[in-house]
Amino acid sequence: MQRESVARPDELGRLRASSVVVPLTPSPVAGASAPRRLRVAIVAESFLPTGNGVTNSVCRVLEHLAARGHDAVVICPGPAPASFAGFPVIGVPSFNYRQFPVGMPSSKVLRTLASFQPDIVHLASPFILGAVGVTAAGQLGVPTVAVFQTDVPAFAARHHMGMLASTAWRWVRRIHSQADLTLAPSSPALQELRDHAVPRLALWQRGVDSERFHPDRRATPAVEELRARLAPNGEVLVGYVGRLATEKRVQRLAALHGLENLRLVIAGDGPHRKTLERTLKNATFLGWQDGESLADVFAALDLFVHTGTAETFGQTLQEAMASGVPVIAPAAGGPLDLVTPGTNGMLYAPEDDADLRRCVETLAADPEQRRWMGAAGRIGVQQNTWELLGDELLGHYRGVLESRAAVAQLG
């Protein structure tokens, strides 16, 4: 696939006068008490049809923008759907890395931004395509909000690529230093960014659909049938949900081998699946789940186990908690914000598989503890709605716009 170039600054005038790439509709004049309608361009490192945390959060943000009457456009690796939530989606050329589409630098980013004329550019987990997005926004004088979500340096370190990890942090710092604001999903991620001298930081966590992910779903015929199939003799169902990739370290669940009255279920797909099927011979692999089927899987579980140690947040932990399922996670990264040991679950030493096994064995043998831990988890996350987090994000957008306006007045 031929690589497209990023437009030079001397091309900006021609691009602004060129044919419109994205339909441009005038925003209505806001009333005295009504917030101004915003035009938001989202440059996403990942989007549909690829399913992951970045895609999920971008979809929820777009739905919220639509619900609040704002305008948006998405720029992402192609192929992608033509639209989402009523907003156009612009795909750029991409290549596949470990079944993951990676957007290539493309002049389409600048052309789309120039024609759409956004008030603000939202950079979703910027690294390659996001680097183009922040540069293009700078050329156009448009403010940017960057969302740190994928810890690429930690991924490199996990694969014993120390030099690459150091280079990745320099690149992350370069991208985020150009943004007006960087949002981190957890307090450990926020501190990590501070430690690497990334400026202008704020915390923005993630919402969860506590209506879809609900303990009452466990009593539905679909979930009862699923439990009967997965645990025909009433075994304790221990599950993992997520992408099956090396960095997720799902192979650590082999430490559970030999525990009595326990069945292991894995929902998800990815490049590591065949290896995992050979390693975890006694596990049931359900493949990729989404929507109602995903909620059914969570509701069917007795315990949810998280295995990755480089998570900036841990969205599946919230979905398990909303479903009334106690969680077990490593004491590292995003889970530190979500899991209160002894209250809604347990934390194990990040590199200690024997400790992981101990936690699972302890809760698997104590249904009463699981019950009240699940109830506590539900109480803790059910107010973390995407509506609330969406409004918080809009507040961050407006704060950046107000800061830009104040600086312009001073100038």
- Condensed to tens digits (0 to 9), the pLDDT of residues 94-149 reads 999 877 899 999 999 999 999 999 999 999 999 999 999 999 999 999 999 999 99
Over residues 73-81, the mean pLDDT reads: 97
Report how far residue 184's alpha carbon sits from residue 348's, in angstroms, rounded to the nearest whole number.
Answer: 24
**Mean pLDDT computed over 371-393:** 96
Q: Is 19 exposed, middle or buried (0-12, 13-18, 19+ CB in 10 A)?
A: exposed
Same domain? 152 vs 291: no
Identify the residue with better confidence: 281 or 18: 281
* CA 209 – CA 214 distance, rounded (Å): 9
Q: What is the mean pLDDT of residues 346-357?
A: 97
The two structure tokens encoding residue 279? 């390693």
SS3 212: coil
Cα-based torsion angle of the residue sequence 58, 61, 66, 68 in order, rounded to the nearest 10 degrees: -170
Q: Given a cut of 90, is residue 393 above it in pLDDT? A: yes
Number of domains in the chain: 2
Q: Are residues 335 and 400 in the same domain?
A: no
- Tell me, yes or no, whether 370 and 393 share the same domain: no
Q: What average pLDDT does the segment 17-39 reach? A: 52
Q: What is the pLDDT of residue 187?
A: 95
Token pair listed for 396: 């961050």
Residue 100 sits in the same domain as residue 180: yes
**DSSP structure class, residue 341:** B
Which SS3 state, helix, strand or coil, does residue 99 take? coil
The reply to whether 23 falls in a domain is no
pLDDT at 31: 39
Is 342 among the domain residues?
A: yes
Peptide bond into 28 cis (omega under 30): no
Same-domain pairing of 195 and 303: no
What end-to-end distance do the CA atoms of the chain give, in Å?
45
Q: Write the pLDDT tens digit of every residue in 201-222.
A: 999 999 999 999 999 999 999 9
Q: Are residues 45 and 67 in the same domain?
A: yes
Note the pTM of the prediction, 2 decimals.
0.87
Residues 332 and 355 in one domain: yes
Partnered with residue 203 across adjacent β-strands are 184
Query: Are both 54 and 149 inside the same structural domain?
Result: yes
Domain holding 329: CATH number? 3.40.50.2000
| Planar angle of CA 297, 300, 304, nearest 5 degrees | 80
pLDDT at 219: 97
332 and 307 inside one domain: yes
Q: Is residue 21 part of a domain?
A: no
For residue 14, the surrounding DSSP H or E stretch is: helix 12-17
Kindly indicate the confidence band of residue 394, based on its pLDDT and cuts at 50, 70 and 90: very high
Confirm if 297 and 238 have CB atoms less than 8 A apart: no
SS3 266: strand
Across the range 224-235, mean pLDDT stands at 97
| 29 falls within a domain | no
CA-to-CA dists, residue 408 to 200, 345, 402, 404, angstroms: 18, 49, 10, 6
Side chain identity, residue 78: G
Confidence of residue 42 (pLDDT cuts 50, 70, 90): very high
**Is the pLDDT reported for residue 55 higher than 50?**
yes
In a domain, 180, yes or no: yes
Q: Which residue has the tokens 């997720």?
A: 248
Shared-domain flag, residues 203 and 293: no
373 lies in the same domain as 401: no
List, in sequence order, every beta strand (DSSP E) within 217-342.
236-241, 262-267, 284-287, 303-305, 327-330
Q: What is the DSSP letter of 329?
A: E
Domain for residue 27, yes or no?
A: no
325 is in which domain, residue-wise? 215-381
Does residue 184 sit within a domain?
A: yes
Note whether residue 107 is domain-resident.
yes
Helix (H, G, I), strand (E, B) or coil at 10: helix
- Phi and psi at residue 389, to the nearest 5°: -70, -35
**Residues 191 and 126 both lie in one domain:** yes
